[in-house]
């Protein structure tokens, strides 16, 4: 399991025709995320869940 990180507060930003949130380097490292890694995005009771689903 990845190491835990402290919650960070971010703002939703415009990204093309959609919206985006910046993932900080410590969070990306802990979640094993990097450019090109496929993720699933789903709406859950608490908000939005982003989950790594493969390798680039």
What value does the mean pLDDT take over residues 19-44? 93
Q: Tell me if 32 sits within 8 A of 52, measured CB to CB.
A: yes
Instruction: Name the CA radius of gyration of the chain, rounded.
Output: 12
> DSSP alpha helices (H): ranges in the chain?
25-30
Note the pLDDT of residue 9. Answer: 87
- pLDDT confidence of residue 42: 96
Instruction: Report pLDDT for 2.
Output: 57
Write down the pLDDT at residue 4: 66
- Whether this prediction's pTM lies above 0.75 is answered by no
Residue 21 confidence class, pLDDT cut points 50, 70, 90? very high
Distance of alpha carbon 18 from alpha carbon 45, whole angstroms: 21
């Amino acid at each position: 399991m990845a190491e835990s990180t402290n919650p960070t507060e971010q703002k939703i930003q415009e990204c093309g025709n959609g919206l985006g949130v910046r993932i900080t380097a410590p969070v990306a490292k802990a979640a094993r995320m990097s450019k090109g890694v496929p993720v699933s995005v789903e709406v859950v009771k608490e908000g939005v869940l982003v989950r790594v689903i493969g390798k680039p």
